[in-house]
Amino acid sequence: MSDSSIIESSQEMTSEITQAKTAAILLIGNELLSGKIKDENAYYLAKRLRALGVSLERILVVPDDRETIANHVVEMSQSFDHVFTSGGVGPTHDDITLESIAHGFKKPLTLDDRLHELLKSYFKERLNDAHLRMAQIPEGSTLLWTEGAPWPVYSFGNVYILPGVPQVFRAKFEEVASRFRHGAFYLRSLYLNAREGEIAQLLTQLEADFEVSVGSYPNLYEDLDYRVRVTVESRQMNAVDEAVSALHSQLVKLEASSDRGAYVVRIDEALS
């Protein structure tokens, strides 16, 4: 391989790493919209996807309605690299996620033989038609088996179909989590003795000048030693360091023209 080919290949790999895969979460259930149940799954998955280097770009809550679920899951599948659904995969009348996905992608539901055997082994003479709903999956689905796990994760294309019970949701996601790892995000925080209005223009300019995402979070508690926490984040470590250095320089200039004292309380040195 020529030197130029090696350089081009390296550049392509770097581009793939720095360009985040995208994801969306579809939370399904009337109980979420009515406030009967507090969702825990989106918060958990948002944190885990971030740790895996995936950019979560949408979270949507929908009722137990076949057309609504079907329309949104198809649109999300076309718009994002990964889609995760939560809820609606049990044996009861309102567990309609699998049939809704099949409807959306215009596929029939089929009884999977292996899932059928697992249900027969578990329920024995108690097995009924309601239980069999859990073995009826959209034609063309993939069953993701993990050693030691008694039941697989369903997927259809780039849609991963997870249960709604938080403990089970977390367990099933962790069984397949490694397949979503895609680089990392780097983040540093600056803790400032400044009001948001004083630094707003600096932060806007920072995002314009560097390939970073900037967040600003005012402190609402008097017992902390800062007024605003500013986060600087990117998939490129150098971009984060350069942006933090530039912001720090600008804040030092502000300090010189103010009688308040130091604007920068501290800066996180560790990247995470």
Q: Which residues of 144-181 are buried (b: 16+ CB within 10 A; e: fewer)?
A: eeeeeeebbbbbbeebbbbbbbbeebbebbebbeeebe
Per-residue pLDDT, 251:
92
Chain CA centroid to CA 162, Å: 14
CATH of the domain spanning 3-180: 3.40.980.10
Q: What is the DSSP string of 52-77?
A: HTEEEEEEEEE-S-HHHHHHHHHHHH
Query: In sequence order, which ranges of the chain are alpha helices (DSSP H)?
Result: 3-18, 30-33, 41-52, 66-79, 97-104, 113-123, 129-132, 166-176, 196-209, 237-256
The tokens of 128 are what?
A: 């009924």
The two domains 3-180 and 186-267 share their CATH topology (first three levels equal): no
Whether 55 and 22 have beta carbons less than 8 Å apart is answered as yes
Asked if residues 223 and 214 have their Cβ atoms less than 8 Å apart, the reply is: no
CB 150 within 8 A of CB 143: no
| CATH class of the domain whose range is 186-267 | alpha beta
Tens digit of pLDDT per residue, the chain (272 long)? 444 443 343 344 344 445 779 999 999 999 999 999 999 999 999 999 998 999 999 999 999 999 999 999 999 999 999 999 999 999 999 999 999 999 999 999 999 999 999 999 999 999 999 999 999 999 999 999 988 889 999 999 999 999 999 999 999 999 999 899 887 888 999 999 988 888 999 999 999 999 899 999 998 877 788 999 999 998 889 999 999 999 999 999 888 777 777 888 999 876 65
Report domain extents, the chain: 3-180, 186-267
Q: What is the pTM of this model?
A: 0.77
